Amino acid sequence: MFDNLGDLYQQVILDHSKSPRNFGELPGADHHAQGRNPLCGDNVKVAVKMNGDVIEDIRFQGSGCAIAKASASVMTTALKGKTMAEAKTLFEKFHELVMTGESAPCAQLGKLSVFGGVHRYPARVKCAILAWHAALAAMAGKDEAVSTE
């Protein structure tokens, strides 16, 4: 399934899915949400610790396919230290990237740009954005389960 992703991108995704960053419980987290993607069986729980409007810390737990796990992992590294508004903007760019393979300056996306190849696999788009849905729901104060369906 990774045939067209390119070696570097593939490596980053495999690395993050095998050794996810910020994986586990987050003591002192004040925002939580769970995301489910029934089509693929991905299940991601995101915990956020906010300091005012800034994401002080963010972690995730759960299970899923390589894309879902890698996306959650890269997302946590990208969102730490960002404001909620910045997180929303980043998600819009990331969403556009995984839907179309193109986005405004990749520099802004940093490592997130490795998911540009996902648009060739429409069934995987939901895997890639699952953790983002959960993170944004958590930050919005909705302590609830979100589903891609």
Angle between helices 122-139 and 66-79 (to 10 degrees): 40
| Tokens representing residue 50 in the block | 């906010």
89/121 with CB nearer Zn ion: 121
Strand bridging mode 31-37 / 42-51: antiparallel
- Site for Zn ion contains 109 (CB under 5 A): no
Pick the piece of the chain touching Zn ion (CB under 5 A) from 3-11, 15-23, 43-51, 126-134: 126-134
Name which of 68 and 84 has its Cβ closer to Zn ion.
68
Give the full edge-to-edge strand order of the sheet including 42-51.
54-63, 42-51, 31-37, 145-147
Give the per-residue contact string, 43-72, with Zn ion (x = CB under 5 A; - = no): ----------------------x--x----
Contact status: 135 vs Zn ion (CB under 5 A): no
